[in-house]
Structure 1
């Protein structure tokens, strides 16, 4: 008995231990899943920077992979504006790849790395709120290692036993790490400006982790952006002053977090962290926003920046706030006027147009990459789409659909010339923009579209079938480029069209029209016209064959039109029951009348044979059948008349 109990107890302990291990493994796997995406995104950004300027194609590929990681990591973002700002930063980073500027590339990716770290931090605190402190701590410790937290800061983070304690410990460690990065940037100012700027950009990206803290100084973001602007303008003194101010703000933040001080009276975190656009090192980008606070959207920062003149550095946010220093500053030059003002406005408008064009190109390139176009040719294809006058891939496909709809409408109303013109424009637009893209995305759909467009405008008998098939193929192009798979029926339709089109269809219709005369002639020869019931059956067959005669005449008209150049001969095709609603109604009425005539005629024949309501008729026929023996006379019509 005791042995049995011991076995049961051992089994239960083993099951519980195994369950605990499985839960721990599942937790570790869940943790690693998100952190692996984060690590992969950071690795993609580092490879992209290392690839510039030697291999721009690889840089773009790695950047797109990092963008895909953003879509996964952004599910727990505390501020949607952060994700949108990161997407805009991705667009600017693509421009730096085109400009082959490694330093500017490193600056933009430094900001992006900070944004990715912020997304991981948000996911950690979301897990902590849900009660999973171990998962939150593991993720924050992973970030602490990447941000080079001091050993003491990592120990504080490890010892935190609540969500608020985790937040305060991480905040203090992040503030110290960012301050250390700023000191390294300060030390590099005289020796290597580019390296100093990269350090500053990395520190600015990391500041997104604490930018919306209630304990942070509202001046921190302004100090960092002012330092970046001064560094670009080669103003080392102003840069050092701004770096010192940012260092003081971060030191105060770390001290406040460790002392668990009450939140400062500030609304810095009201809108969530949003990275401000840093200027390019070559000075061609816009200057830093005036009085940009944490959470300021890039659009608002740009509006504030528009009020700052480039002529007077003292008017920028990096100017000394001290009144005595301001008094010693040189007076600002007068505002430009006349031709100078017009030239400045024109230059600014040109710059804005170039920025808009670059953003549009980046958006189109992203669409092409998602559609399956190789990244190494996506940029060139995007420029081709934009040069054709389309602001997006969807707009280019929509233009084709518009031309296809015009062709369908023109053919339906009998305007075959207009339908051909619309198809010619559609073919030109397709080959100019979308044909190269389709060859990279879906070879089968591309081949079907090119073969169809190459022959459809030359067909002698352009029918509704042709234009509707073109419209369906344009729909297949849309699904290939913008999402979805082409239906299998479309490929079958194209294969049938390959032998049914051009002269085959009208010749077959003419042949059917000629053959339809034969049964009518034979019916008249067999039964003549003296019997009313057989005449009704004959008329019924004729009405059923009227659409065949009509299609044959329409085919003859289409063929003659292609020879004698008389467009009115194609008007019959516009009233076909396959095209026109009125034609379908007429066909339905003909069928109805034909069925009535057939019913009446065959009913009369059945009565004459005694098959319906003819019991007495059958008796009379049976009584006289033995006495009367009819001999064939050789005249079939007379035999039928005598029998009936």
Structure 2
């Protein structure tokens, strides 16, 4: 009975995973449908990124990282007004989602889950499967035969795109054809029958965009695809059983394919980052940069050039070298350069937030997060795991939080500097830094609600002062002003968070400028708070002194002093009237 309940529970969890993945695709597809070169492209990409973040736990990590990296590249293409680069990015994003749907569909179909239908429908839309193929996949019961059939279709499409690239009349057209072939290859890249690698496509794209001869390399790709198609036609039943062991959560089951999805994000991710010549229709193809250290793993000898400080024990040094080798770092300055890139993005976020531009600040923090996750965190997790985990958690949280302030980004900058220092001097714990990083978890709605509540409660004492004395007494009015300036920072802070919330969630971006009133935002609010302290002292002193004079406290003391210094000669014991405290 217990075993049956466990099986039912796992089945339900699998159904929820598949259903949620289909919903994530719907939201991303709906957002991407509005991405065009123009003013609304940034907002559409923000919606797609938000949808991917909400469903990040449902995607394999390498696919999730690849998707978000290509979204960032698409944003850059929009900024540079490159239609070719934007189309290439959208192709990769849709087919990377197709890869996730492809694996999830086979898992759901193997379990007999009813969500296999929904996943198949989304898969067809993502990769452009014809309706006849979708219907065939729906009816096919043999998973091995179905996988082989779909693989044949993908390889045919890859071959067609590569042949069209050979006959393309311009480099932009050839670039898009090869990118489309590359995107379709990524869906079935785990096939044990394929000798193709993502690096092969990246090299061809580099040749196209840099103006070098590329057709011989395209012909080489076609030859490999042809061999793959022949292997599919002659595949025995024993070879077809291998793909069944794949799971949707694994980046790639065969060892050669494990780094390919990450190459999608990193190797191909640079396809639109190069310089372009603005004139000349037809437009020049986007220029991919040469493979960065993250994109191509070096040979075994490169790990020996990676310097490790003397404080590391042999096991730690070996683990750090291995992680650096996996990321393609041959020297430690390359790793530290990647960390410097993260710090630069955080510094730009500080500048943007200081000017009240929360949207640009979030974009910089988001880029810092993905650079940190893909190029820094794997190595530093071996050096200083606690600080690395705290920084990663803070970078995950801040770009999505409402009401982020300059001080929040400065705390991250400080933590990144501490992480850099740990490479040379070893991991050290800082209580103050850990406390500040822990407080960053409150950034967003919890902190905004706290200050809104403080602002609302600060008005209550002012109301009571006004109610008690009615404003008729000048000195009590001065005391009320002292209370006002004493509580003014809390009121202004609450007002600034109200503006941030309305800007982020209420569709009123102009109110985001109220964030500049926050004391955590910059120098002006800090100095204004200092001035308010002087006003509190001045008004409180004037008001309380006047009240003391009205009660006769100051006059009585002066009279007593005068009497002690010079007694009146007409004073007798009968004329002395003592002060009655109860009078």
- TM-score, normalised relative to structure 1: 0.45
Structure of greater relative contact order (alpha carbons < 8 Å, 6+ residues apart): 2
Q: Which protein is bigger by CA-based radius of gyration?
A: 1
